[in-house]
Amino acid sequence: MLARVRISVPDRPGSLGRVASVIGTAGADIAKVDVLENESGRALDDVFVQVQDATHLAAVQTALSALPGVTVVGVQQPVPPVTGHADLELVDQVLSGPERSLQTLVDGAPGALGADWAAIVAYGLDGDQASVIAVSGKAPAAQSIALSAALRLTTVRLPRPGSDTPYAGAVLVPLGGSPVGLLLVREDGLDFHPSELWRLGQIGHIVSGVVPATV
């Protein structure tokens, strides 16, 4: 099982090495490390670890939390397999089939971009959400997806169906100049970091060339 563990560590030589050593001692394997930010003498990293099950993951978290100066910010699991090029592969698929670009994007986005589910949201001339025109697997019914945010690159607060409790993380990604946005949702664990938003914005800009001007 692959899990994303977000940790805050001292920004000095050897810190990540100590983290890797503890993870290895706990019997887990590191698949990938994403450095999210370095600020005020600390670094925020997403460490993707391969663990056996939820119990094993909890043991890894405990071991990391015991390291002096290390804070476990949060965990997302399971997460999609880490290939290193999943986002580029998705962009290629979308651009290669413009006639079904939106469906390809919404189907592939969760696995390629680290979300649990996705939706394509259309906006009206008044700037408000008009409709949900496509959803991925695991998404709730389209009529239960309601956004109050304007169509721009931003994290959003999205309540769970039938509840005022929001999902752990949600982000809205404009698709160029079209009245359409890609909604990505993480049900539990971690919100989207600002560094992730920048990458998602670039992907939205690239695929916008094959997105219909009207929907």
Report which of 163, 165, 167 is spatially closest to residue 139, judged by C-alpha positions: 167
Residues 29, 69, single domain; the answer is: yes
Distance of CA 156 to CAs 87, 149, 152, 180, Å?
A: 22, 7, 10, 16
| Contacts (Cβ under 8 Å, ≥6 apart) of 160 | 166, 167
Per-residue pLDDT of the chain (215 residues; tens, 9 = 90+): 899 999 999 988 888 899 999 999 999 999 989 889 988 889 999 999 999 999 999 999 999 999 999 999 999 987 766 556 788 899 999 999 888 999 999 999 998 898 999 999 999 888 887 899 999 999 999 999 988 888 999 999 999 988 889 999 999 999 987 899 999 999 988 999 998 999 999 999 999 988 776 55
CATH no. for residue 18? 3.30.70.260
Residues 63, 111, single domain; the answer is: no
Q: Provide the token pair at 42.
A: 């600390």
pTM of the model: 0.82
Q: Provide the token pair at 17.
A: 């090495």
Domain boundary among 76, 110, 132: 76
Question: Rounded to an integer, what distance in angstroms lies between the CA atom of residue 5 and that of residue 75?
Answer: 5
Task: Give the residue numbers spanning the domain of 50.
Answer: 2-76
At 93-136, the pLDDT tens digits run: 999 988 899 999 999 999 889 899 999 999 988 888 789 999 99
CATH no. for residue 117? 3.30.450.40
Is 81 part of a structural domain of the chain? no
Residue type, 3: A
